[in-house]
Every structure is written in structure tokens, then in C-alpha cells.
Chain A
Amino acid sequence: MQNKEELLSIENLTIHYETDDGVVYALNDVSLSVKKGETLGLVGETGAGKTTLARGVLRLVPSPPGVIKNGKVMFGGTDLLSLNEVQMRAIRGSNISMIFQDPMTSLNPVMTVGQQIQEVVEAHNRRFSKEEVIKQAHAMLEMVGISADRSSEYPHQFSGGMKQRVIIAIALACNPQLLIADEPTTALDVTIQAQVLDMITALKDRLHTAMLLITHDLGVVAQNCDRVAIIYAGQIIEIGTLFDIFKHPLHPYTRGLLGSIPSLNKQVQRLSPIKGLMPDPTDLPAGCKFAPRCKYAIEACSAAEIDMHSINANHQVRCILAREEADDE
């Protein structure tokens, strides 16, 4: 049953890509939830399954080769995976919308930015007159800090940061309850990244939108999220509040990630990277997926699948040793 506070809850979602070279186990039994109005950060490295998760929620996983094997995506009491394409289209953009990573390629180069925003407004508000649609589109542009005079310009006339603002305007045009932002600022310079993130946070608070923020940048997470989920090889391996994850990380991978970042506030002579590489998603190890790289690994780690263990109401971790450590205390 879906908790009243929970806007989105993903239950045991499993997505595989069935290719000629074998099955890619992109997402394995992932469960997590986003509460109303909160920002959940989803952190992981390239190939961890972050984008597959986001696309899975919106049913945008290309099929073939993608197959949703199992699981539920509960949103406002309905399982999105049980809807047909027409019903799903009504949800996308108006209830849940998505910001993609690359602002350079997600806009249509032969349509003016105004038209692109109008398109969304029109698609979800069939009863609007032409004037109302244009008025709404202009209002959205102004909201993201672009003068409405520029609505007749084309994407190539905008800089990277401005394009990302246009995309945010499109995503928020129908006042969605949930915004999925897939690496929204990765392609931007730091000063522009700061502007865009500040703006997303301000708009989100004003419109009471919940956000799933997907990123590989722990700094972005620390400054913008309420809770964090760490994903590794298609599994959530640790989830908790910002404080839990940054101050009391329990999973060796989470600790490894934090140890890999050069710090600005303290001088470290040497970084402590995680040795090795992420496992091949077509050939995942048995048991803990991180065990081959983990310096604390014991035999039991590879013997069987590891379950999530609750440390407290918010903090959960998928690690045998962390569980024992917590039990001892």
C-alpha cells in the first residue's frame, strides 16, 4: 500500500536489456520512494542504472531491447506500469516531467523556443485558446529568467545555461507534481550550474514539486537534496537522509565515493580511490555486487543476495558488515 505522504513509490523494479550479446542486468529489484515536495538524490557512476531508473518510471525505456521484468511504479495510487500508452501520455509532462542531461540535444533546432513551450502547454490543456497558450508560454519563460521577447528565437541563439532554462520551463509548464532531473547541470560550467540549481530549487519550493535528482556529483546532492539513494550495478545499496549518507556512510562503496573526491576544505595528500571497476552488467557477481572491489569482503558476501537492512527509520544499507556493526552497537 502506498503511504499517504509518498508521491512515487517504486517497488522491486527490474529492467533488463536483452541484446544479441547477452542480457544486460541494468536494474535489479530496486525499491524507493519520493515523498511529496522533497528532493531525492540518486547518485551513482556511469552505467549504474540511474538513467534506466528514470526512464523506467516514465516508461521511456526503449523496447526492444529494454524489458521491464518485474515491479510496480505507484504514482498517486495507480501503477504506471499497468497503464496503456494513451493514459501514460497524459501523465508524462503534466504529472511527472523530465529534464534530460544534454541541453544541446534535447531541444528541437528548427522550432523557436516559444513554440516548443507552447507545444507542451497545448498538449495538456486542449481547451486553452491560442492567446492563452502563448500567454502561458511567455509566463513560463519569464519564470525561468528569460525575457518573453526572446520566445521567437531558436535554440542555437541561446547559450548552454539558457537552453537548460528553456528545458526547465518546458518541464514545469504544466505544473507537475514530480520532476525527474537527469544530470541537469552536468554539461554546464560551475557558475552557470549554481544559477540553474538555485533556480530549480526556488521554483520547486514555490510550486511544491517533488524532485528526483539524478547526478554523479556528490557536491550537487549535498547542496540540493533532502535524502540520497546510492545506486551501484543496478541496485540501491544505501539510502538515507543527507546527514546519514554524508556523516555516517555505512556501505564501503559510499565511503569509497566520498573518499574519492578531492576536498576543498581540507588538504589531503592522497585520494583514496576505490580499486577496480564496476562489474560488467551482463555478468554480475553473485551476492554483493561490490564484493570484488571491497576491501572488507568476506566469504558470506558472495554467498547469497544481500538484503537491505534498516539502521533507523530513514537509513537503510545493503551490506552484511554494516548490519553486524549496527547490531553490535
Chain B
Amino acid sequence: MADTVVTPTAEPVQSKRRVMTLNMGPQHPSTHGVLRIVVELDGETIVSAKADIGYLHTGIEKEMEVKTWQQAVPLTDRVDYLSNLANNLCYALAVEKLLQIEIPAKAQWSRVMMCELSRIQSHLVWLGTHALDIGAMSVFFYCFREREEILKLLEMFSGQRMMTSYIRIGGLALDHPRGWEKAVKRFLDDFPSKIDQYQNLLDNNPIWRQRTIGVGGLALDKLVELGVTGPMIRAAGVPWDIRKTEPYSSYEKFNFKVPVYTGNDVYDRYRVRMDELRESCSIAQQALAGMPEGDFQANAPKIVLPDREKMKTQMEALIYHFKIVTEGFSVPAGEVYQPVESPRGEIAYYVVSDGGNKPYRVHMRTPSFGNLQALEAFFDRKLIADSIATLGSMDFVLGDTDR
């Protein structure tokens, strides 16, 4: 946390201009968590803004260094608590690369399906709260109605609504539950009509359009240089989606478009995310329709816990179980940088192993941290009323920023 306490500089020497310092947060509802922003105002214009982060720092990277490789998976859930599956996947992919194990097709397709469901869920939270910030109350209720359905699906698959830890090193935590196809299909068939409902409320709403069109822009080269990723950069005309450019977990086998708009404002970020909702729905449908048969975990007895039935009959399986549970498994020394497209942008885990049974170093390049870095540039010389719309369009999660 930086020392961003700015003393009021009321100097009427040069002109009659008076600068007022305003403290937003860390408990301000529009900051979506515990973000503190110190803004200096000249009338309604922001002269300078400083973001103060760290209120939600929980030392996850440090803690991962004392957990075994598999024990660290639940910690990745708690980084970005709205898209925990993307974090699970990113970590699992990085470690699997170091281990050089192959993941069966069924697990890969399930990962895709679950990640897309969690992307829908994350975008729904964003849309609801963003619209609420701008004054459209009812969108929030509609969004959370559908989000509830997804959380129920996540619970059905993993036993947990939010902190699922469903994607593990070597595959998935559990096989598909009974009746999953029907439940997922019911949701996905219904969902496009729900997107129409949201868009009916917002697309041609004059207040929404006035508050968002032409608001919150920043030059493209600045966006790139400051590390802005995800829907924000796609709304500025850059067709960059890691699922397409550096495909992982069989994404290359799915047919989907990358929505790109060129308005570079709050409204186009909204349009990108609304299109992404439809694309995610279509990807999940493809995964559902083409779900391969087979195992949900890799054939790697030293890494993946054995089947419960085998443990009761086979000595070897029991020994592996004992070893994995007590001391974990070792990962060959090396380093991997694994990027994944999370709902917010580029999430990348830099995983270093020294050959032991615990990660030597895990660095999380989180999208919210990168996006939030551009906040000062976004706010510069803009109206204080627009700052709330801009903040909402950035779609950050403070757990993701502070780790």
C-alpha cells in the first residue's frame, strides 16, 4: 500500500482554481471490493488519481510455497473468486506441462465447459453490478437469477458453489454427477433468451447510452503498454484472445468467434462482454454435445489419487494413495509461464520447481492487477461522474489484484 495520502493543495496564488482531495474507498460500493482511490478534483474534473491497493493481500503466493503441489489448488480458487475455474486451470496446466502428463479428452472438454460456465457467471456479476452503479437497478436481479443457476451447476459438479477446486493437477476432482447433461442442457438452451432480456433493458436505454458511449477511452498504445488485457483491449479493436492465439485444453477444436469492437469506450466493453456471453454459451453447448467418453483423470498413478475401489483390493494402489496424501508428488525442476484467457483478461502463472514436492515459486500475473494499473491514465482529466462508469467497465476483482 503506497503512501498516497495527499495533503490538500489549496493554493489560490496562481489562479482562483481550488483543488479538492477526495478519498474514494476502500469501502465505497462502486469500487467493487476494497480499492482505495485518492482523487484530486478541480470542480468536477479529476486532476489526478492514485489507486491504493493491497487491502485484500493475503499472501497466497507465499503460502503456496509451503503447500504440496496438489494442496495449492484450493489457494488458486481464492485469487479471483469470480472465475476460480480459470485460475485452477491455469495452475493445473502449468504444473502438467512441467510433469509432461497428458490429460484425457473428456477431462479437457469438461474443463472447457466448466470454464465457459464460470465465464458466463463472472460476466453476469459484472453486468449486474456495473448496471447498478450507473443506476439500472433491475438488471442486477435478472443477472443474479441466472448466476444462481450456474452456481447450482457448479455445486452439482464439485460440491461447492464458488470455491470449486474442480480442476486438479492431472484432470478433474470428480467424475460427472448423475443427470448432469440434462441440467446443463436446460440452462444452456434457456440462456440466450435471457441475454436478450438484458439487452432489451440496456441496449437502447437512453440513460445507459448517454452514460457509456464515448466514456472512458484511452489511446490504444497506452492500453497495450500499461498491460490492459481481455475485453477491454478487444473493445479497442485488438483481436486478441488467448483461447485463439495460444490455445490450451483443446480450445482449438471449438468453433467460436472473438468479439471485437473499435469504440474503445464503456459501451463497447459492454458489447464485447455481451457477445462473449453468447459465444461462451455456444462453446459450452459444443462441449456438452461432443463430450468424449473415457477417463476424467490422467493415467499417472504417481500423481492422481487411485480409484477408491482399487485401493481396497490392490496393494499398489494403496501405496500410491499413501504416498500422494502424505508427501505429495515431486515435479521435475524447471519453469513454465502459462497464459490463460480469464473473463477479465490474461491470467498467467509462472511456476518454478526445484524438483521438490512443493512449488518453489508461483507468480500470478493477474488481469485485474494489469488492468487497474491503467486507472490513473483512465481518470486523468475526466469527469468524476464518468469515473464510476469507467471503474465498472474495467471489471476488476480485488482478490485478483492483491492476491
Partners in one complex: no
Show the binding face of B for A, using Cβ within 8 Å: none
Show the binding face of A for B, using Cβ within 8 Å: none
